[in-house]
Structure 1
Amino acid sequence: MASQNNPHLSSPPKHDPKETVQLMLGLVNELHKHASDKLEHRLPRSNNEEGSETTIRIVSSRGEEQLIPMLQHHLGLLERKLIRLQKLREEVHEEVSEHLRPLKAILKQVKSSTPFPRLSNEVRLGLRGITTKVSDLVAKVPQLPDKPTRQLKALSLYSHSPENFGDNNGNRIIHLPGLHENAEALTKLKAFRQVEKEFMELAIENKMCLLSFAVFPENREVHRTMLMYWWIGEGFIPVEGAEESVREALQVFTDKKLVEPVEERRKVAPSSYKMNPFVHSSVIHLSKEIGLFDIYRKGSKPRMKQSEMGKVCLVEGSSAQPEAKARKMESADRIETVLNVSERYPEFAFKWFSELLPKMLQKPVFKSLHVFYLGRWERTQKRNIEVPNPEIMTSLNFMPHLRLLSFQGISTIRKLNRSVCKLHKLIVLDLRECSDLTQLPEKIESLHSLVYLDMTGCYMLEHIPMRLAALNNLEVLKGFVVSDTAYEGVACTLRLLKRLKKLRKLSIEIHRDDLGVHQLMEDLVKLKALTSLKVTWRKNLNTVRAGKPDDFKKIESLPDQLKKLSLQRFPHEQLPTWIHPHKLLHLKKLHIGGGRLLKGFGALPEKATECSVETLRLTSLPRLRIGWIELKKLYFPNLTFLEKYDCPKISLTPCDGNGIWRSDQDDQ
C-alpha cells in the first residue's frame, strides 16, 4: 500500500536512466528532509578570517553527516549529464534526418546517369557539405572505450583495407610526400634560400620557436596558448612576460612571412597561426639538419624517433613501433621532450621511465626531461586520447626537472596521482578538457614553482583543495571551482584566493545557488594584480538567499587594473551599479552571456558615458532590450567591436549575418 501512495517507492522505469536517476534523487531528497535534524552537528560560533563576522560551521565533509548532500550532488550531476545526452541524441537525429532527402536525390541522379558516372560539381559539393556536418556530429558524440588490442588497432590504421574507417575521425591515413623528402632539390630552390636567409637573421630563441612548427602538419592551425606553454617548458621564452614574448615572436614570424595568422571575424585579433606547405618543408629540413626533431622519413609515414637533441614526438601508430617498449628506446635518460603530435594511445611513454627505475635504484635520474606533453595540442576535440592505466603516473616521481605537464583532452584520467606533487620545478600544469577529472591532489601546495594552472573544461571537478591558496607564484588559474556546502572545510574558497598576490587571470565555475555577483566581487576585489576575470554560474541562483543589488553597498567600482570581465549565465535581472557602463572607466573587454533574466544596463544616461569598453559580447540574453543608438552613442561610446548572438530585443545593430560588427570594417 505504501508504494501506491509514495511515488518515490514505485518501480523504476526499465529503459530510461534519466527517470531512474530522478527517482533516486527524489528518495534521497526525502531521506535528507527526514534525517537532517539527526545528521547536522553544529559547532560553537567562531570568528572568521576577517574577525568581524560569526558563522556556524558543520563538521568536516569527510564525516558521515555529509554523505546525503554528497549523494544529492552526484545524482544531480548525473541527471544533468543524461539530459545533455538526450539532447545530443535529438540533435543527431534532427541533423541526420535533414540529410536523407539530399542523399536520396544524389543517389537517384547517379543511378540515372551513364554506366560509369562522373560526379558533377553540384553532387561533389553536396556530399562534401554532408560529410563535414556528419564529421562535426561524430566529434560531439563521446567515444566509449573499446576492447581490441590497441597495438593491433594502431597497425590497422596504416592498412589499405577499404574497411579501415574507424579511427582518425573516419578517414584513412594517407601519406603525401612533402618537398622536404627530396632535400637536394629543395635546397636548390631560390624560395628555400629565402626562408633560410630569414631564419638565419632570427635571434637564437626565435630560431628554436620557429623550428617547433616542424612537428605540426602543414597548414594546420596552432593556438598561441599551446605554443606559449610549450616554449616555456623548453626554455625558449622566459616565464616572466611569457604572453608578451610569444606575441612578439609570432609577430616577427608574421612580418617575415614565415607563418600566417588565422583571421577570424569574431575575434578582435588572431590567436592561431599556421605555416604554408613550402615554408613548412623548409623548416622540417632545417630542423632535421640541426638534430632538433626527427620524425620524417623519405617515402614513409611520420615515425617516432628520439632526435639528436633528445626530442621525441609521438605520432599515430607509435604504440605499435618497437621503440614503444622501454628496452627498445635508447638513452631514455637523455630525453628532454615528449610531445604527442597525433597518437591516441600514448601511455607507453610512461613505461620508458618507470621500467628503468629498478635498474637505477629508484633515484631521480631523468634530469633532462623538461616537457611531458601527453595530451592533444589541437583546439578541436576530434582526437580522443586514452590513458587507461592511471597507476603508471607514479613514474612522475622521477621527473624532478619537469617544467611542463599536459594531459589536455585525455578523457580517462579521473584523478591526479599524488606523485604530481613531487614536480617542484613545474611551471605549467595543463589539464584542459580532462572531462572525467574529479580530484586534484591535496598536497598541491608543493608545486611552489607553478605559474599556470589550466583546468578549463574539467566539468567533473567538485572542489579545489584548500592548499592551492599557498601557490605563491600562481599567475593564471583557469577552471577554479566554487564548491557547494558539501565540501565546506576541505575546499579552497574565494576568500582564500586573496593570498595569491601574483594572480593575473582567473576563471571560476560556481557550483552553488547562493552566490551572486555581489558577494563574489567582495572577495575578488582584494586580488590587486587581477586583470582578467571570467565567472560561470553552473547552478540557478537562489535569489532569496543571494540578495538583491541594493543590499550590497561596499563596492563602488571594479578594480582599476581589471581589463577583461566575462559573466556567463548571469543570474540577476539588473546589473549592480558598479558594472553600469558609466562606472567602467578602465575595463576594455566585457562579455555577458546566458543571462535569461537580465533586462538592461541601468538608467539611460542623458549624454555619452566615459565607459572605456572597446570589445562587447552579448550572447543569449533574451530579455535585454536596447537599441543600437543607445548602445553605441550613450552606454559604450568607445566601442570598436560588438558580438550579438541570440539577443532578439537588441535592435537595429549593423551586425553581419554572424552577429559581428567591427568599426574597422564599417565601410566595407
Structure 2
Amino acid sequence: MSSLPTNPTKDVHARQLLGQLKKTFEETSEDVSSAKDVKKTIDHLMNRLPLDQQCEQELGPRFLKLQDLLLCKNTAPSHRFRDIRDEIAEINKFLAKVDAKVDQDDFQALSQDQQRMIREADKHPLLKRLRVSYEFSLRQLKHDPRICFFLAIFPGNAILRKRFLIYWWIGEGLVRDEEEGERVFEELLDLELLIPYHTDKCPRVTKCKIVRWIRYMLISEARKEKLLNLEGGIPRFDPAHSRRTCLIAGHSSDLGIKTESTPSEKLRTIFNLNERDLDFQDQWFEDPKLLKYLSLRGISRITKLPESIRELASLEILDLKSCHNLETLPDAVISLEKLTHVDVSECYLLESLPKGLHNLTSLQVLKGFIIGSSQKSLIRLQHLPSLKNLKRLSIHVGSEATIQEGEFDYLEHLRQLRRLKISWGKADNVKMSVSFPPGLQKLNLEGIPYNSKPEWLTPSKLMNLDTLYIKGGKLRDLLAYEGEQWNVRYLVLSMPQINQETLMSKFPLLQYVKRLKWRDGKQSVEDEWSRDIGQ
C-alpha cells in the first residue's frame, strides 16, 4: 500500500483515504455486519468533499485515526472494521449537523423593528413608495399577483434558482409551462422585482435575489391577502387560508407537516426551503390527493418514499434532488400518470429507477436517470423513446455500469429533447457510440472518460447546439483534427491549454466562454470571457 499523506482532510487526500477504506471493505472475506451501509456512507462522504477550513480542523483527528486504523495490522479484523465504521459514522454525523446549522443560520427571524415596520407599512415612506411602484409593475406584468406575493416566503439572503421558481409556478398553476415561466422570470427581472445574482461573467441569468426592501413590501402585501403570517418573526404560509406549505428547519411542525398528523387534503404544493432532517411518515400521502408539486430537495434522512405516494394522483412535479440517502423509488411512482417532471439527480445511493417509468408519457423532464450494472438497472435507454414529450434528460453512468452496445443511439429518437447531461462515475475508457436528437440545444458532459475526442462529439452531429459544457474527466483536446466550426455560443470546458484565438476560430459565434482547471482535487476558474463584458 502506498504511504498516506500527513493531512488526510485535504480534498484529494481525503478521497484517497476514503477510497482505500472502501476498497478494504469490498475485499475483506470477514463476516462484517453492516459493511454495505459503511460503503454507502463512504460514498456519501466522498460526495460531501471538499471540506471547509473549520471542518478540516474539527475532523482532522478522526481522519488521522482512520488512517491509523487502515494501516494497523495487529488488531483483529472484526475489531478494526468496527472501529472504522464508528469513526465514519461520527464524521457523517458531524457534517450533517454542520449542514443543518448553516441552513438554519441563513433563515433568520425578522427583528421586532422589522416586524413593526412591515405591520405599519402604510406609514413607512419607503414602503409606501415601493407599493405604488409595485402596483404599477403588476399592471405591466399581467399575471397572477401571487407570483410576486409568494417570493416573500424566502429568507432575505436567499439565492433563488430560476428553474426552482418556474417549477413551483407550474405546480401552483400560475404558468402553463416552462416557456411561459421563462417569460415571467424575465419580466420580473425587467421590473426589478428580482435582481440577477452572478458568480461569473455569463450574461445568462439562472439565479436571483430579492432586494431587502422589496421583500418587506411583499410580506406586507401578502399578509393583507392572508397568504402569509409572521408568527415568530418568520414569514410562512397561513395554514388557515393557504393551499401550500414549505419545510423550514426547526419549524416544519408548525406548517401542517407533523410527525403525528397528515398534511391537509387541500394542499396543492409542498416544498423544502432548508429542512435536512425530516422524519418521513407513510401516512402523509394518504390525504392530499390534489397535490401537484412535491419538492423534498436536500432532505438527507429520506431513504425511501412510501408506497402511499400512489395516492397523489394529481402530482405533476416530483423533486427529490440531493436526497443523498435515498436508496430506492417505489414502483408506485409509475402509477402517477400526470407526472411531467421527475428529478432524482445527486441521489448517489439510487441504483435504478423503477421499471415501467417510461410509460409515464407526459414526462417532460427526467433528471437522474441511472445506468448501472445489467443486474440492477431495471430500465435502460432503449425504453425511453416512448417519452415523446421529453425535453430535459440527465444520465449518470455509475461506477459499476454495463453499457450495452448501441444503447446511447436510442437518444436520437427523443425528438423533443433540448437539454442533455451525461455524467460518468467510472473512469474506464469504455467505447460507446452516441446519436443525438436533431434539436438538441444544450449538452453537458461531466467526467468524460476518454483521452481523445470521441467521434460522436463533432459539430456535424450537433448542428443546433447552443451551449456546451465539458467539465472534469480525461478529455484534453476538443479540437483535435477538427475541420468544422461549431455553432455554440456558450462554452464551459476543462481544457485550459486551448488558447483564446484557437477557440474563437473554431467557435466563431461564441458569446461566453469559461475555462476551468483542477488543482489538488479542486476546480477553479482559469479564465472567462464574455462578448458583452470582455476579458
1:458 paired to 2:344: no
**Could you tell me which of 556, 575, 578 is aligned with 2:453?**
575
Q: Is the 8 A contact 1:415 1:440 kept in 2?
A: yes
SS of residue paired to 1:525 = helix
**Could you tell me which of 447, 453, 466 is aligned with 2:336?**
447
**Match of residue 398 from structure 1:** 287
**Match of residue 210 from structure 1:** 148
1:224 paired to 2:162: yes
Give the structure with higher Rg (CA).
Answer: 1
Residues 611-630 of structure 1 aligned to structure 2 (within 5 Å)? 611-619=486-494, 621=495, 625-630=497-502
SS of residue paired to 1:478 = strand
Q: Is the 8 A contact 1:403 1:425 kept in 2?
A: yes
Q: Is the 8 A contact 2:294 2:317 kept in 1?
A: yes
Distance (Å, rounded) in 2 between the aligned partners of 1:610 and 1:434:
40
**CA drift at 1:187:** 7.1
1:301 paired to 2:230: no
1:588 paired to 2:479: no
SS of residue paired to 1:534 = strand
Q: Residues 59-118 of structure 1: CA distance to partner in whole angstroms, max 9, x if unpaired?
A: xxxxxxxxxxxx998776455446667974999437999xxxxxxxxxxxxxxxxxxxxx
Distance (Å, rounded) in 1 between the aligned partners of 2:513 and 2:18:
42
Amino acid at match of 2:269: V
1:177 paired to 2:113: yes
Q: Is the 8 A contact 1:401 1:425 kept in 2?
A: yes
Distance 1:470-1:139 versus aligned 2 partners, 3 A rule: same
Distance (Å, rounded) in 1 between the aligned partners of 2:207 and 2:93:
22
**Match of residue 645 from structure 1:** 516
Amino acid at match of 1:497: L
Distance (Å, rounded) in 1 between the aligned partners of 2:192 and 2:45:
48
**Could you tell me which of 276, 280, 291 is aligned with 2:211?**
276
Distance (Å, rounded) in 2 between the aligned partners of 1:22 and 1:478:
29
Distance (Å, rounded) in 2 between the aligned partners of 1:93 and 1:400:
46
**Match of residue 659 from structure 1:** 527
Q: Residues 250-275 of structure 1: CA distance to partner in whole angstroms, max 9, x if unpaired?
A: 32233333322223425341122222
**CA drift at 1:474:** 0.4
**CA drift at 1:598:** 4.0
**Match of residue 537 from structure 1:** 424
Residues 136-151 of structure 1 aligned to structure 2 (within 5 Å)? 142-143=95-96
**Could you tell me which of 483, 486, 490 is aligned with 2:375?**
486
Distance (Å, rounded) in 2 between the aligned partners of 1:458 and 1:356:
26
**Match of residue 25 from structure 2:** 24
Distance (Å, rounded) in 1 between the aligned partners of 2:374 and 2:368:
19
Distance (Å, rounded) in 1 between the aligned partners of 2:451 and 2:417:
26
**Could you tell me which of 236, 246, 256 is aligned with 1:339?**
246
TM-score when normalising by structure 2: 0.78
**Match of residue 560 from structure 1:** 438
**Match of residue 326 from structure 1:** none
Distance (Å, rounded) in 2 between the aligned partners of 1:86 and 1:184:
49
Q: Residues 487-537 of structure 1: CA distance to partner in whole angstroms, max 9, x if unpaired?
A: 15xx11111112111111001111155656984531212211111110111
Distance (Å, rounded) in 2 between the aligned partners of 1:203 and 1:427:
26
5+ residue gaps in structure 1? 1-15, 32-70, 98-137, 147-152, 154-164, 312-335, 358-365, 377-382, 649-655
**Could you tell me which of 383, 387, 410 is aligned with 1:500?**
387
Amino acid at match of 2:335: S
**CA drift at 1:472:** 0.7
SS of residue paired to 1:579 = coil
**CA drift at 1:413:** 0.5
Amino acid at match of 2:174: F
Query: Greater RCO between the two (CA within 8 Å, min separation 6)?
Result: 2
Amino acid at match of 2:161: H
Distance (Å, rounded) in 2 between the aligned partners of 1:540 and 1:72:
24
Distance 1:189-1:626 versus aligned 2 partners, 3 A rule: closer
**Match of residue 168 from structure 1:** 104
Q: Is the 8 A contact 2:327 2:350 kept in 1?
A: yes
Q: Is the 8 A contact 1:371 1:405 kept in 2?
A: yes
Residues 495-534 of structure 1 aligned to structure 2 (within 5 Å)? 495-512=382-399, 519-534=406-421
Distance (Å, rounded) in 2 between the aligned partners of 1:91 and 1:582:
49
Q: Is the 8 A contact 1:616 1:642 kept in 2?
A: yes
Q: Is the 8 A contact 2:453 2:480 kept in 1?
A: yes
1:259 paired to 2:194: yes
**Match of residue 93 from structure 1:** 56
SS of residue paired to 2:413 = coil
Q: Is the 8 A contact 1:536 1:567 kept in 2?
A: yes
Amino acid at match of 1:343: A
SS of residue paired to 1:426 = coil
5+ residue gaps in structure 2? 1-16, 61-90
Q: State the number of aligned residues.
A: 482
Amino acid at match of 2:529: W
SS of residue paired to 1:387 = coil
**CA drift at 1:185:** 0.8
Residues 313-392 of structure 1 aligned to structure 2 (within 5 Å)? 336-340=243-247, 342-344=248-250, 346=252, 355=261, 366-373=264-271, 375-376=272-273, 383=274, 385-388=276-279, 390=280, 392=281
Distance (Å, rounded) in 2 between the aligned partners of 1:276 and 1:171:
16
SS of residue paired to 2:180 = helix
Distance (Å, rounded) in 2 between the aligned partners of 1:459 and 1:409:
12
**Could you tell me which of 211, 220, 237 is aligned with 2:175?**
237
Q: Is the 8 A contact 2:228 2:235 kept in 1?
A: no
SS of residue paired to 1:205 = coil
**Match of residue 77 from structure 2:** none
Q: Residues 193-233 of structure 1: CA distance to partner in whole angstroms, max 9, x if unpaired?
A: 52243155156634110111122233532221221222222
Distance 1:499-1:646 versus aligned 2 partners, 3 A rule: same
**Match of residue 601 from structure 1:** 479
TM-score when normalising by structure 1: 0.64
Q: Is the 8 A contact 2:374 2:401 kept in 1?
A: no
Amino acid at match of 1:636: F
**Identical counterparts, % of pairs:** 23
**CA drift at 1:592:** 1.1
Amino acid at match of 1:277: R
Distance 1:588-1:73 versus aligned 2 partners, 3 A rule: farther
Distance 1:78-1:291 versus aligned 2 partners, 3 A rule: closer
Q: Is the 8 A contact 1:581 1:636 kept in 2?
A: no
Q: Residues 24-75 of structure 1: CA distance to partner in whole angstroms, max 9, x if unpaired?
A: 31135x99xxxxxxxxxxxxxxxxxxxxxxxxxxxxxxxxxxxxxxx99877
Distance 1:81-1:403 versus aligned 2 partners, 3 A rule: closer
Amino acid at match of 1:387: L
Distance (Å, rounded) in 2 between the aligned partners of 1:625 and 1:226:
35
**Match of residue 76 from structure 2:** none
Q: Is the 8 A contact 1:584 1:613 kept in 2?
A: no
**Could you tell me which of 412, 415, 422 is aligned with 2:301?**
412
Amino acid at match of 1:344: G
Q: Is the 8 A contact 2:440 2:462 kept in 1?
A: no
Q: Is the 8 A contact 1:615 1:639 kept in 2?
A: yes
Q: Is the 8 A contact 2:202 2:530 kept in 1?
A: no
Q: Is the 8 A contact 2:246 2:252 kept in 1?
A: no
**CA drift at 1:19:** 6.2
SS of residue paired to 2:532 = helix
Amino acid at match of 1:370: R
**CA drift at 1:461:** 0.8
